[in-house]
Amino acid sequence: MKYGIIGAMPEEIDRVREQFETFHSQRIANRTYHEGTFAGAECVLVFSRWGKVAAASTATALIERFGVDFIIFTGVAGAVSAKLEVGDVVIADQLCQHDFDVSLTGLAERFEIPLLGISNFPVRPELVNQARLAVDNYLAVGQNSVYVGTIASGDQFIAHPAKIEELRSAIPDLLCVEMEGAAVAQVCHEYGIPYLVIRTISDKADHSAPVDFMTFIQEIAKEYSFEILNRLLPALRNSSTVLEE
Ligand code: ADE
């Protein structure tokens, strides 16, 4: 099993990179892909840059050029659900693109991806469970919690309560917003490979979001990605060995 690991910002994967045993780094279309091992797993580590197009093209390169057969996205997100606090972790059990809307054509509903006929990309439940165990183990020492639910992606940094209110009523069970996860999910879905999107809450997508986001990114985010992947990858490797036997 070869894992593609994506973060949307260098800060999200810096700490992973420090412990990453790199065999080879290759620059393709403005991204640097690091091939190597982390926590005993064969991985390709890359920061995608921001947004759905950047994430989708990076995921495609990981699959086509590097032959990864599993993609894990780790990074930060803005809270939509009122129960979430900064530092909580959300594991997607499904992802949707909140800025996707061709409903005026009458051919699809809001959020529905034409031809695929779905609005949400589901994550395999056994993978969600393994991610939950890894995050639980990490968060056990502090006061933050792990949640499983819907993550929505769009090409906007959201810092407005009215927008959050609108998304909350349009997407039931929405936990948080970010800018890449559902794009990676769509690429993986169409290629038929498994994926996980794990997001730490950096802000509440309100007026203070820009400042909270920058502080979190600079000071805390990289620890989460590192600590979670360090627990998750060995667990996934063990279970995939069992599945392959
Ligand atoms: N990622 C982290 N915070 C975010 C926000 N408020 N909107 C979109 N993406 C984010």
Domain spans of the chain?
2-234
Model confidence band, residue 245 (pLDDT cutoffs 50, 70, 90): very low
CB of 216 within 6 A of ligand 1: the answer is: no
Which amino acid, 99? D
159 CA: nearest ligand 1 atom: 6
Give the distance (Å) from ligand 1 centre to CA of residue 69: 28
Q: What integer pLDDT is reported at residue 7 of this predicted model?
A: 94
E strands present in the chain: 2-7, 21-28, 31-38, 41-47, 70-79, 89-97, 121-122, 146-153, 174-178, 195-203
Q: What are phi and psi of 181, to 5 degrees?
A: -55, -45
> Which residue among 12, 93, 178, 212 is the active-site one?
12
Q: How far is the CA of 207 from the centre of ligand 1 (A)?
A: 12
One-letter identity of residue 32 = T
Return d(Cα 83, Cα 66) in angstroms, integer.
39
How large is the average pLDDT for residues 154-171? 96
Q: Where does 2-234 sit in CATH, by number? A: 3.40.50.1580
Instruction: Look over the chain and give the mean of its residue pLDDT values, rounded to a whole number.
Output: 94
Nearest-CA neighbor of 52 among 204, 144, 185, 162? Answer: 185
Q: How many other C-beta atoms lie within 10 A of the C-beta of residue 198?
A: 26
More confident residue, 76 or 221: 76
Mutate to test the pocket of ligand 1, among 97, 213, 215, 225 (most ligand atoms within 8 A of CB): 213
12 has catalytic annotation: yes
Per-residue b/e over 60-73, b at no fewer than 16 CB within 10 Å?
Answer: ebbbeebebbbbbb
- Residue minimizing CA distance to atom 5 of ligand 1: 78
Say which residue the tokens 């091939």 belong to: 35
Question: Is residue 14 flagged as an active site residue?
Answer: no
CA 161 to ligand 1 center in whole angstroms? 13
pTM tops 0.75: yes
CA–CA distance from 168 to each of 61, 108, 123, 165, 174 (Å)? 33, 20, 21, 5, 6
